[in-house]
Chains A and B, each alone.
Chain A
Amino acid sequence: MLHFLLKKLIFTAITLWVASMVIFALLEIVPGDPAQLMLGINASADAVAALREQMGLDLPLPIRYGAWVGGLLQGDFGVSYTYSVPVSELIGERLWVSLPLALLALALSTVIAIPVGLYSASRRGTRTDTGIMAFTQLGIAIPNFWFALLMVYLFAIWLQWVPAGGFPGWDQGLFKGLKSLILPAIALALPQAAILSRVTRSALLDVMGEDYIRTARAKGLTARAVLWQHALRNALIPVLTILGLQFAFLLAGTIIIENVFYLPGLGRLIFQAISQRDLIVVESVVILLVATVIFINLLVDLTYALVDPRLRQGTGRNAS
């Protein structure tokens, strides 16, 4: 177990390191000088040079990379070029919108998908099953931002139950905040729920074909008991994998959905930062999201080991 853990941790560290280099390198080739952009086109060359020096832009690349990563490790993300506030503060503010949104969407997707997958698997081959599967095919094909637009039309413009966009802030009360997050969360959750319920169903069906399920049935357990006690637990591995992947997908998905609903989250922040050439903000948001994905993958891997003791020996799923 220790060996397994150590190996995973080392891979995680290497992945993070490579990812940070890639992000840094990509943003180095962005056209446009941030110092020039901040001062405007009328600034004198001397002023721009002075600001470049003050911002540390004149230092050699490896030193700047080192300073950036060193800062990150201490929780110091640097200072935004355009807002002149610490980046960590900016991100902290926006995270309060994006994170609840992604979590809400993940919860919705799971709450919908697992029962649907279970039900569909237990009715396998029937017309209900076929109907549900056809419905999930449709769900996968729907772009979430289009679904969001339709819901805005139905619930915000026509029925006027919820606001069409914007976010009042959590200080206006939990209910008001949730009210403006519910449509975006549903829009994000729907395609994910469709995928997840298909995975749940097929994982369950795979497990249901195993010998130990037949044994459990043979010793007199009801079909329902077998499904809940034996099949579901063993079907969890693929479901967990997809759940982990989906969280990453949901975090990235918030980028587009936040633009539909004018939500002041990380997605909007990154768009603003890109258009203002506020590199340090872009770098920080991207590395934060990528690091989150990497850690979730690590967590999923570790959860495998908890669910399936065979994997702890390091003999199991290593090759891939």
Chain B
Amino acid sequence: MSAPLIEQLDAPETWRDVAKKALHNRSFLTGLIITTIILALAIISFFWTPWSITDLDISLKLKKPSLEHWFGTDHFGRDIFSMIMVGARNSIAVALVAVGIGVLFGVPIGCWAAAKGGYADEVLMRTNDVIFAFPALLSAVMITAIFGPGAINAILAIGIFNIPVFARISRGAALSIWPREFIMAAEVAGKGKIRITVEHILPNIINLLLVQGTIQFSLGILAEAGLSYVGLGTQPPMSSWGRMLNEAQTMMSFAPHMAIFPGLAIVVTVLGLNLLGDGLRDVLDPRLRRER
């Protein structure tokens, strides 16, 4: 005899179930593989790159892709593949910290609004609306212009606009959990709102936050590339995909490979993260799955 239906439905998924589902999800797997490769390249670049990116050798400048230089060389004779490896560090670091800022501030704000309700909730959400009215890119340009271009300010500019995103999503998710019976049970047991949020709400919305985090991560990489491209993000001598594209622009007519490969790096990374996010959503929360 199988277990009664109710028990089956409510049986918590073990990590093994989730892992099994994950391995059968094509977009999760593809995303995971791509993300792992990019991450590995970034880590390896700390110890080793095919060529040094600090030794300039003008005699090697603007070489087309070859067996020696896989992605060719730039106008200073630097190996583009090596620069992309080092640039990956930068993109990942900026996007990761920006997501961190969003989670660190946004989640407590959203959870607090959901727990408190009423006036506080209304004020917070309207504040969110005001921030949403600023096109993120425009504000990032303004912030980096005011406080000076640089990686740190780019992180802050991108991070600030992650806060309302996480506040909104955690508020919405928390609101849907609060009326459930097990929360009422916890309240009856005498637990305070903060304790309930930490012990019961957060574990139930963490999946959603993980998925949103992946999406914001990929948006962060795009935003950093955009800012660096217009010269407001990462500054030389640090290597960044956006900057490489900026430098490539004037050499487009005779060295298109300088623009093609850094751009491809961005596309592949963002694509990988998006696939990972989609896959995670399917695997972690079947209720959210879109019909395919």
Residues of A within 8 A of B (CB): 11, 14-15, 18-19, 22, 26-27, 29-30, 124-125, 137-138, 140-143, 145-146, 149-150, 152-153, 157, 202, 205, 209, 248-249, 251-253, 255-256, 259-260, 270-271, 274, 282, 286, 289-290, 293-294, 297, 319-320
The closest CB in chain B to the CB of A250 belongs to B135
Question: Which one of B137, B259, B267 lies within 8 Å of A149 (CB-CB)?
Answer: B259
Establish whether residues B137 and A253, one from each chain, have CB atoms under 8 Å apart when the complex forms.
yes
Complexed CA–CA distance, A32 and B100 (Å) = 32
Establish whether residues B263 and A150, one from each chain, have CB atoms under 8 Å apart when the complex forms.
yes
16 further interface pairs, Cβ-Cβ under 8 Å (given A142-B263, A146-B245): A11-B126, A15-B130, A137-B275, A140-B270, A140-B274, A141-B270, A141-B274, A145-B229, A149-B263, A150-B259, A252-B137, A260-B249, A282-B145, A289-B138, A290-B135, A294-B133
Establish whether residues B290 and A202, one from each chain, have CB atoms under 8 Å apart when the complex forms.
yes
**Lowest 10 CB-CB distances: which A-B pairs, in order?**
A252-B135, A146-B263, A141-B270, A141-B271, A274-B145, A252-B137, A252-B138, A141-B267, A157-B253, A294-B133
Tell me how far the C-beta of A210 lies from the nearest C-beta in chain B, rounded to whole angstroms: 13
Chain B residues with CB under 8 A of A252: 135-138
12 A-B pairs whose Cβ atoms sit less than 8 Å apart in the complex:
A19-B134, A141-B267, A143-B270, A146-B267, A153-B256, A255-B141, A270-B141, A289-B138, A290-B133, A290-B138, A297-B133, A319-B175
Tell me how far the C-beta of B244 lies from the nearest C-beta in chain A, rounded to whole angstroms: 10
The closest CB in chain A to the CB of B222 belongs to A143
Which of A142, A143, A249, A260 counts the most chain B CB atoms within 10 A?
A143
Complexed CA–CA distance, A18 and B127 (Å) = 9
Establish whether residues A205 and B291, one from each chain, have CB atoms under 8 Å apart when the complex forms.
yes
The closest CB in chain B to the CB of A270 belongs to B141
A149 and B292 in contact, given A252-B135, A293-B135 (Cβ under 8 angstroms): no
CB within 8 Å of A: which B270-292 residues: 270-271, 274-275, 290-292
Chain A residues with CB under 8 A of B137: 249, 252-253, 255-256
Q: Is B230 in contact with chain A by the CB < 8 A criterion?
A: yes
Chain A residues with CB under 8 A of B292: 124-125
Question: Which one of A29, A138, A251, A294 lies within 8 Å of B267 (CB-CB)?
Answer: A138
Establish whether residues A137 and B146, one from each chain, have CB atoms under 8 Å apart when the complex forms.
no
Tell me how far the C-beta of B19 lies from the nearest C-beta in chain A, rounded to whole angstroms: 24
Establish whether residues A251 and B226, one from each chain, have CB atoms under 8 Å apart when the complex forms.
no
Chain B residues with CB under 8 A of A319: 175
Complexed CA–CA distance, A269 and B258 (Å) = 28
A256 and B267 in contact, given A209-B291, A251-B135 (Cβ under 8 angstroms): no
The 8 A CB mask of B91-131 against A (1 = contact, 0 = none) is 00000000000000000000000000000000001100110
The closest CB in chain B to the CB of A252 belongs to B135
Number of contacting residues on B, CB 8 A? 42
The closest CB in chain A to the CB of B134 belongs to A290
Chain B residues with CB under 8 A of A141: 218, 266-268, 270-271, 274
Residues of B within 8 A of A (CB): 125-126, 129-130, 133-138, 141-143, 145-146, 172, 175, 218, 222, 225-226, 229-230, 245, 248-249, 252-253, 256, 259-260, 263, 266-268, 270-271, 274-275, 290-292
Chain A residues with CB under 8 A of B142: 26, 274, 282, 286
A149 and B266 in contact, given A202-B290, A256-B226, A282-B142 (Cβ under 8 angstroms): no
Complexed CA–CA distance, A11 and B127 (Å) = 11
Tell me how far the C-beta of A33 lies from the nearest C-beta in chain B, rounded to whole angstroms: 15
Establish whether residues B129 and A15, one from each chain, have CB atoms under 8 Å apart when the complex forms.
yes
Chain B residues with CB under 8 A of A124: 291-292
Chain A residues with CB under 8 A of B275: 137
A320 and B172 in contact, given A141-B218, A205-B290 (Cβ under 8 angstroms): yes
Complexed CA–CA distance, A260 and B231 (Å) = 12
Tell me how far the C-beta of A303 lies from the nearest C-beta in chain B, rounded to whole angstroms: 17
Establish whether residues A152 and B291, one from each chain, have CB atoms under 8 Å apart when the complex forms.
no
Tell me how far the C-beta of B114 lies from the nearest C-beta in chain A, rounded to whole angstroms: 11
Question: Which one of B146, B230, B260, B290 lies within 8 Å of A29 (CB-CB)?
Answer: B146
Establish whether residues B146 and A30, one from each chain, have CB atoms under 8 Å apart when the complex forms.
yes
Establish whether residues A143 and B266, one from each chain, have CB atoms under 8 Å apart when the complex forms.
yes
Tell me how far the C-beta of A104 lies from the nearest C-beta in chain B, rounded to whole angstroms: 18
Complexed CA–CA distance, A209 and B290 (Å) = 12
